[in-house]
A and B are shown apart, each in its own frame.
Chain A
Amino acid sequence: MTEVLSQPRPIRLKGRSFLALSLTPELPFNEWLAGLDDLAARSAGFFLRKPAVLNLEGLNIDRAQLRGLVDELSKRNVRIMGLEGARASLLDADLPPAMFDGRPAADFEAPAVKEGQEPAAATVDETPVAVERGQPVPSMVVTQPVRSGQSLIFTEGDVTVVGSVASGAEIVAGGSIHVYGTLRGRVMAGTMGNSSARIFCSKLEAELIAIDGFYKTAEDLDPGLRGRAVQMWLEGDKIEAEQLG
């Protein structure tokens, strides 16, 4: 009897950013909630099943008030998945978790006013703001060898190492990774969900490489590429590699 060994299924762990509705409540809350009710009345289910984040920046409230607001919102079927700009003193285990580093995206279009209805007091900016483009992409340059046990984590963009990356060292980058030296350690590029990130090195001896959550260990790498200058990229869910130069 032969038993076919099934391929072990790796667990994929990676960062991913999602679009969420960001609500900015204003004091007094009952007036703001009334405006929200009005908005919801014009379009039943606008908030239904949409992830929403509460932006508390500049609001001077205490934890009880916040709890009350979250309760009021959940009565209206608005599920708050996170709090932005909240002071640490406001947070608690039964409240949604804090979220950081929010980036602006196109505004959600508010439901259009139905005919015969007065425009509501709560106005929502209906002209979508263009997604900011042309922002400089940050990068990190390291001019020393990355030693065993050291870990470089830079989720904002590219990492360039002028030197080698030792066995047992680790680089995690949101963008691409460039190693002008021997790559012996582990490198993970595109960890925030960037599938176009690439890995470049002057000499490939890596223990593990990963792009956007897909990884290959040294064993899975083409032995013909060992010791060579190589670039690696993702095509679909397959890591491709070719010799450079």
Chain B
Amino acid sequence: MGKVLVVTSGKGGVGKTTSSAALGAALAQGGAKVVVVDFDVGLRNLDLVMGAERRVVYDLVNVIKGEAKLTQALIRDKRLENLYLLPASQTRDKDNLTEEGVETVITALKKAFDWVICDSPAGIERGATLAMRHADVAIVVTNPEVSSVRDSDRIIGLLDSKTLKAEAGAEMEKHLLLTRYDPARADRGDMLKVDDVLEILSIPLLGIIPESMDVLRASNLGAPVTLADGQSAPAKAYFDAARRLNGETVSVSVPGEKRGFFGKLFGRKAA
């Protein structure tokens, strides 16, 4: 049985789709069979970031409505044979996602893949709640600024109350992925510091992705940054995050600082 991972944030534009694609590709490069599911029905982007936009025939809504089989809708990545994409529909709206339909699809995917990564839409409405509904693990993507942090806090509250795991009385495993971190701006005080974000959200840190042109360049190339340029700083940070997801102990380094911050940051699991 695979693990269902939801990548969520509440706020839009913080890097959910970029992170879903990058982590998916990183996990797949480690040998796992991975599928990334785009839940952003009506505003799909994952196909572009993964460079599969010209190969989409069927999508998630088609599968849920019984208009296509799951195997017809899955798109295999051209670079990694164990990385797949289940695209969202661009023409339908989120009302087409039904609770039963999503459950059927997720259950089927769990049987066939090691990781089912659900790329959540922004917001706290139907699309977002259905994306997190069946998750075993959640990644909360946050930018180091106050509005993103508050929205993430809201999402953590929902993860702890609206997911199947939470409703069954179990604790949802949550990780913080701090993206678009700019050490220079954090030093000037224009951005929240890593410690401040961790103190407010009090969930364990999965990684810090530095703000970088490499991410934008990779998106425009249609490749996850972990595939486009594996040696770039953001790619390395995503690879480390993927290893931590697999249970490895890897020290977290704050971009712009030389020494490892494992003891100080990743070690302080709270809440």
Listed in ascending order, the chain A residues whose CB lies under 8 Å from chain B are 144-145, 147-150, 163-164, 166-169, 182, 184
A189 CB to closest chain B CB (Å) equals 22
Q: Which of B199-214 contact A (CB under 8 A)?
A: 199-200, 202
Contact of B150 (CB < 8 Å), options: A145, A163, A164, A168:
A168
Q: Across the interface, which residues of A come within 8 angstroms of B151, CB to CB?
A: 148
Interchain residue pairs with CB less than 8 A apart (14): A144-B271, A145-B271, A147-B156, A147-B157, A148-B150, A148-B154, A149-B124, A149-B157, A150-B157, A163-B271, A166-B200, A168-B150, A168-B153, A168-B154
Q: Which residue of A lies closest to B152 (CB)?
A: A148
Q: How far is the CA of A166 from the CA of B147 in the complex (A)?
A: 12
Q: How far is the CA of A175 from the CA of B124 in the complex (A)?
A: 32
A182 CB to closest chain B CB (Å) equals 7
Q: Across the interface, which residues of A come within 8 angstroms of B200, CB to CB?
A: 164, 166-167, 182, 184
The reply to whether A164 and B202 contact each other, CB–CB distance below 8 Å, is yes
B91 CB to closest chain A CB (Å) equals 31
Q: How far is the CA of A168 from the CA of B158 in the complex (A)?
A: 14
Most buried by B among A144, A147, A166, A169: A147
Q: Which residue of A lies closest to B124 (CB)?
A: A149
Q: Say whether B160 faces chain A, with CB atoms less than 8 Å apart.
A: yes
Most buried by B among A148, A163, A167, A184: A148
* Residue tally, chain B, CB below 8 Å to A: 14
Q: How far is the CA of A168 from the CA of B157 in the complex (A)?
A: 12
Contact of B153 (CB < 8 Å), options: A144, A147, A163:
A147
Q: Which of B170-200 contact A (CB under 8 A)?
A: 199-200
The reply to whether B154 and A147 contact each other, CB–CB distance below 8 Å, is yes
B110 CB to closest chain A CB (Å) equals 28
Q: Across the interface, which residues of A come within 8 angstroms of B156, CB to CB?
A: 147
Q: Across the interface, which residues of A come within 8 angstroms of B124, CB to CB?
A: 149
A183 CB to closest chain B CB (Å) equals 12
The reply to whether A182 and B199 contact each other, CB–CB distance below 8 Å, is yes
Q: Which residue of A lies closest to B151 (CB)?
A: A148
The 6 closest A-B pairs by CB, nearest first: A147-B157, A148-B153, A148-B154, A149-B154, A166-B153, A147-B153
Q: How far is the CA of A149 from the CA of B150 in the complex (A)?
A: 9
Q: How far is the CA of A148 from the CA of B124 in the complex (A)?
A: 12
The reply to whether B202 and A148 contact each other, CB–CB distance below 8 Å, is no
Q: Across the interface, which residues of A come within 8 angstroms of B160, CB to CB?
A: 144, 147
Q: Which residue of B lies closest to A147 (CB)?
A: B157
Q: How far is the CA of A186 from the CA of B84 in the complex (A)?
A: 45
A64 CB to closest chain B CB (Å) equals 45
The reply to whether A167 and B271 contact each other, CB–CB distance below 8 Å, is no
Q: How far is the CA of A169 from the CA of B202 in the complex (A)?
A: 15
Q: Across the interface, which residues of A come within 8 angstroms of B154, CB to CB?
A: 147-149, 168
The reply to whether B157 and A167 contact each other, CB–CB distance below 8 Å, is no
The reply to whether B199 and A167 contact each other, CB–CB distance below 8 Å, is no
Q: Across the interface, which residues of A come within 8 angstroms of B271, CB to CB?
A: 144-145, 163
Q: Across the interface, which residues of B come within 8 angstroms of A145, CB to CB?
A: 202, 271
A101 CB to closest chain B CB (Å) equals 27
Q: How far is the CA of A150 from the CA of B161 in the complex (A)?
A: 10
Q: A166-B150, A167-B150, A168-B150 are contacts. A148–B199 as well, Cβ < 8 Å?
A: no
Q: Across the interface, which residues of A come within 8 angstroms of B157, CB to CB?
A: 147-150
Q: How far is the CA of A150 from the CA of B150 in the complex (A)?
A: 12
Q: Across the interface, which residues of B come within 8 angstroms of A163, CB to CB?
A: 202, 271
B172 CB to closest chain A CB (Å) equals 12
Most buried by B among A145, A168, A169, A182: A145
Q: Across the interface, which residues of B come within 8 angstroms of A168, CB to CB?
A: 150, 153-154
A206 CB to closest chain B CB (Å) equals 14
